Structure 1
Amino acid sequence: MVAVVSQENVAALVSRTGRELQRYRKGRRQVVGCIPYRFKIGEKTSLDVVSDELEVLVISSQKGKGMLFPKGGWELDESKKEAALRETMEEAGVRGIVGGKLGKWSFKSKTHDTFYEGYMFPLLVQEQLEFWPEQNVRQRIWMSVTEAREVCQHWWMKEALDRLVNRPSGQKQLGHYRDNKRVLGSMNCERDAKSASVNSVASLEGRAQLF
C-alpha cells in the first residue's frame, strides 16, 4: 500500500535534529533501527526457505557509499520501539507493525572514535509514503534477503537480518501467510465454480423457454 501525502503535509513529517535528548549508557550512544520487510506475491517460491518469500527495504547512506537499514538515536522521551518507528518513517518513509527485538550489538563508528549500542527490530510494512522527511537525501530500494546481505555496509545489521530470517516467529508468521494464501485460493476456486454452475443453469433455463 502506497500512501499519498500532500507536499503541504510533508512539513509535519520532519526529521528530529540535535542530540539534547540523546540516550547514552556507559558512554555509548544508544541507537535503534528496523528491518522493514514484506512478503512477496507470487507462485514460484520455495516452501522451505523463508528468505525466498521475503523482501526487505534498504536505504542509501548519507555519509558514504553503500546501503543500510533505517536507524538512528534513541531519545529520552520515547521507547525503543517508538524510536525505531520514528527513524524508519523519517529515513525510509514506511510505517507498519514492529516485532520483537532482534538483538543488541556493540560497535564502533567507522568515521569517528565513538562507540555505540544498537538495537534492531523487524517491521512488517503496511504503509509506504510517497513523500517523507529524508526523500531528498536518501534512496530506498526493495530487494531480496540475499541482495541485502551483499549491499549492507554494517556487519551487525547483517546479523540482525539473519536473525529475522531464522527466528521461529518468522517461520510461524510465514506459515500463517501460506495458509491464508491457500484458503483464499480455495475460496476463489469455489466461488468460480458456483458462478459457472449458476451461469450454466441460467443458460439451460433460457433454452427451455425458447422451446
Structure 2
Amino acid sequence: MAKQVFAAGTIPWRRVRTPSGKDELMVLLIHRRKQRDVSFPKGKLDPGESMPQAAVRETREETGLRISLGATLGTIHYELPGGGTKIVQYWSAEVSPKTALASTFKPNSEVQALEWVAASAARDLLSYDADRELFDVFMRLAAPGLLDTFSVTLVRHAKAQARSEDQPVDHLRPLTEGGDRQAHTLAPILRSFAPKRIYSSTATRCLETVAPLAELIKKDVREQECLSQDFWDEGDLTLTRRLIGKVVTRGRSAVICSHLPVLPDLARELMLASGSLPGEYVEDAARLPPAGFSVFHFSRSRPGAGILGVETYPLKH
C-alpha cells in the first residue's frame, strides 16, 4: 500500500476596518524558508493526535496564534516527491483582535514571515494549486457572509458497563475502564472546537463521558432529562426539540452527549432548527460508535442558512 501522511491546518482570517470605514476580509499566509513557498499553516499529526488537535497545535506553532476551529473546509490530497500521498484536513479559524495582539510569532528556521493580505488578493499569492482550490472553498463561505460560525457537537457516550445484578438500573450504568480512557481522549479533541456549553443526558455513562471535557475547559455540565434514553422511550420530543432550538438560536458552540437511539432525532432537530435540506448525511452523522462524535457547523449571523458542514469522528482507541 502506498504511504499516506496525514496533516491538518487552518485558514486564519479576520476583518479589518479600512480608512474608508468598510470591513475588509483578510487571511493569513505563511512564507516558509526551506520550501520557499507561500501557503497556509499546517503540519503533520503527532503520534496519537487527532486532526482537529493537530490543526490547532500547528497553527499555534507556526503563527503564534491560539485559535479554535471554525467551519470545516474539507481535505486536499497531493503526491509526495518520494512517493505516497499527503492528506491534509483544513478548517477556517477566526482571529480576534485580542488573539492577533497576543501572537508570539518570531521568524524561525521553518516560517520566515507571516503576511495578512486581503482575501481578494490571496489566491494569486499561493504557491500550490491544491491550496488555491482550498481557498476557493473558503471563499464560497465568505462570499455570502457565512464565515462567522459556531458548532454543535453530538457525542455518543463512551463504552459503558453492561447491566448486571450489581447494577440492574440502566441509567446508572457507569463507564468501563476503556470507556473512561475514551472520555479522557475525547476531551482535548472536543476542546479544539471551543465549546461554550456542555449538555448531557442524566444517565451516568453520559455524565462520565463529558466530565473530563468539563474539567478541561472549566465549564459546568448542564444535565438534561430530555436527552436521556428513558425520556426518548416515552415518545414525546417536545422538550428535546425546544432544547435544540435554544442551542441553535444562542449561536454559541456546544457539546451534547446522548445515546445511540436518541442521536438520529437530535441530528434531525438540528436540521429542522436551521432550515437545512434533508438527506442521508443526517442519518450518517448520527450513526456513531461509543465515544464517536459529529460536529455540525452553522452560521452565527444566519443560522437559518442551514448546516454548513458536518464532520464525523469514530474515536480510535
How high is the TM-score relative to the length of structure 1?
0.59
Q: How does 1:149-188 map to 2 (within 5 A)?
A: 149-167=123-141, 171-173=145-147
Q: How does 1:1-211 map to 2 (within 5 A)?
A: 27-42=3-18, 43=20, 45=22, 53-109=24-80, 111-126=81-96, 127-128=99-100, 129-132=102-105, 135-137=107-109, 138=111, 139-167=113-141, 171-173=145-147
Secondary structure at the counterpart of residue 122 of structure 2 = helix
Secondary structure at the counterpart of residue 34 of structure 2 = coil
Structure 1 spans left out of the alignment, 5+ residues: 1-24, 46-51, 178-211
**Which amino acid in the other structure matches residue 122 of structure 2?**
A
8 A Cα contact 1:91 1:135, kept in partner: no
8 A Cα contact 1:66 1:151, kept in partner: no
Q: What is the CA–CA distance in structure 2 between the aligned matches of 1:53 and 1:78, rounded to whole Å?
A: 35
Question: What's the offset of the Cα at 1:100?
Answer: 2.5
Structure 2 spans left out of the alignment, 5+ residues: 149-298, 302-317
Q: What is the CA–CA distance in structure 2 between the aligned matches of 1:136 and 1:75, rounded to whole Å?
A: 20
Question: What's the offset of the Cα at 1:141?
Answer: 0.8
How high is the TM-score relative to the length of structure 2?
0.41
Instruction: Using CA pairs under 8 Å that are at least 6 residues apart, name the structure with larger relative contact order, 1 or 2.
Output: 1
Which structure has the larger Rg over C-alpha atoms? Answer: 1
Secondary structure at the counterpart of residue 99 of structure 1 = coil
Larger CA deviation: 148-157 vs 74-83? 74-83
Identity level (%): 25
Q: What is the CA–CA distance in structure 2 between the aligned matches of 1:141 and 1:173, rounded to whole Å?
A: 20
Question: What's the offset of the Cα at 1:161?
Answer: 1.4
Aligned CA RMSD, in angstroms, stands at: 2.9
Q: What is the CA–CA distance in structure 1 between the aligned matches of 2:84 and 2:64, rounded to whole Å?
A: 28
Q: What is the CA–CA distance in structure 2 between the aligned matches of 1:120 and 1:142, rounded to whole Å?
A: 18
